[in-house]
């Protein structure tokens, strides 16, 4: 049996049975209309609607729609798409149309937060961690644990900032040279190391502002210029190394000594070593205050000079 119904334009339409819920195009006005259920069909083909809900009703909830309405305010049915709000289709035989919305604002906020975290790590976190690693490594040196210091520098060198990588490379060379040149009796007895390529003379200058000051004279007998740095000088006892401090009286930091030249100035240190060197002590002999020394070293990772310094 044919299904008969009326378009909004007044045109009587007829489709085959079983087409309820499907959409058909009105040949008169071109509208896409939905084939109604039984209660909305025309009876006898005379154009009179069957008893029941009004002709202009929502196919979803069957509530009467205002003239010209395209969306039902009761259930959200969209006459244009045949779908309810939320994407659930109420039309049989047709694919539901679902609209997806990308949360652009939230994505931009998330990207901004991520960028801020990365920038914070790059500009603050990483440099701070690099500085702390250098501080820990130099602390091992200051405590006289040279093997631990060397191991720490080698293990963490690649994770340091470029400036601290340069310092770490210098310390690695210095520590290896120190452990090679200054061990055994050379360390215990305070034996001086005086090579011919770089000569150093030292003397005590006194204290200033809580720092120990030493007079230092460097003569360059090599064929290349020497650039002196604070880290090249340190005072040591039996177990302690005291690094040169950045101090207003440290006048040799950054000084270039050309081949054949001699430069002299003051080098300042943070503190005095806690343990003295027993110079000339023989086994079984007791130490006395008269033969207790400290020594000052120049070590740039290539050249090594060690001179005793009475204190």
| pLDDT tens digit sequence for 271-295 | 767 777 666 554 444 545 445 678 8
Please give the radius of gyration of the chain, using alpha carbons only, rounded to the nearest integer: 46
Overall average pLDDT of the 188-216 stretch: 84
Separation CA 247–CA 258 (nearest Å): 24
Separation CA 38–CA 32 (nearest Å): 19
Residue with tokens 């690695």: 172
- Sorted by where each begins, the domain ranges of the chain are 3-40, 104-181, 195-310
Quote the pTM value: 0.55
Question: Of the candidates 3, 22, 14, 32, which has an alpha carbon nearest to the alpha carbon of residue 90?
Answer: 22
**pLDDT band (50, 70, 90) for residue 52:** very low
Q: Does 196 score more than 50 pLDDT?
A: yes
Bridge partners of residue 298, in order along the sequence: 233, 305
DSSP state of 121: I
Q: What is the mean pLDDT of the chain?
A: 75
Separation CA 75–CA 150 (nearest Å): 76
| pLDDT tens digit sequence for 203-261 | 877 776 667 788 999 999 999 999 999 889 988 876 777 777 666 778 899 999 999 99
Separation CA 155–CA 166 (nearest Å): 15
Class of domain 195-310: mainly beta
C-alpha distances in angstroms, 43 versus 4, 17, 48, 288?
7, 14, 7, 130
Interior angle at CA 98, CA 94 and CA 99, nearest 5: 145
């Amino acid at each position: 049996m044919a299904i008969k119904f009326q378009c909004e334009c007044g045109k009587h339409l007829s489709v085959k049975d079983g087409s309820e819920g499907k959409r058909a195009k009105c040949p008169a006005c071109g509208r896409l209309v939905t084939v109604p259920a039984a209660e909305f069909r025309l009876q006898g083909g005379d154009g009179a609607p069957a008893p029941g809900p009004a002709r202009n009703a929502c196919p979803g909830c069957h509530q009467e729609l205002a003239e010209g309405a395209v969306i039902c305010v009761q259930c959200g049915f969209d006459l244009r798409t045949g779908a309810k709000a939320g994407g659930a289709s109420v039309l049989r035989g047709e694919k539901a149309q679902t609209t997806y919305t990308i949360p652009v604002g939230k994505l931009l906020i998330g990207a901004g937060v991520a960028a801020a975290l990365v920038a914070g790590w790059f500009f603050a976190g990483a440099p701070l961690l690099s500085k702390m690693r250098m501080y820990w490594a130099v602390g091992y040196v200051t405590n006289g644990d040279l093997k631990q210091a060397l191991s720490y520098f080698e293990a963490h060198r690649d994770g340091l900032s470029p400036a601290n990588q340069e310092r770490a490379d210098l310390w690695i060379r210095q520590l290896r040279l120190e452990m090679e040149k200054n061990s055994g009796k050379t360390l215990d007895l305070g034996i001086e190391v005086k090579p011919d390529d770089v000569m150093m003379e030292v003397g005590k200058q006194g204290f200033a502002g809580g720092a120990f000051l030493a007079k230092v004279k460097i003569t360059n007998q090599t064929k290349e210029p020497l650039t002196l740095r604070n880290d090249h000088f340190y005072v040591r006892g039996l177990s302690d190394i005291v690094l040169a401090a950045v101090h207003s009286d440290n006048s040799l930091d950054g000084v270039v000594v050309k081949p054949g030249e001699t430069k002299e100035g003051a080098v300042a240190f943070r503190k005095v070593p806690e343990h003295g060197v027993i110079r000339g002590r023989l086994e079984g002999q007791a130490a006395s205050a008269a033969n207790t020394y400290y020594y000052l070293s120049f070590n740039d990772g290539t050249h090594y000079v060690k001179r005793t310094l009475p204190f």
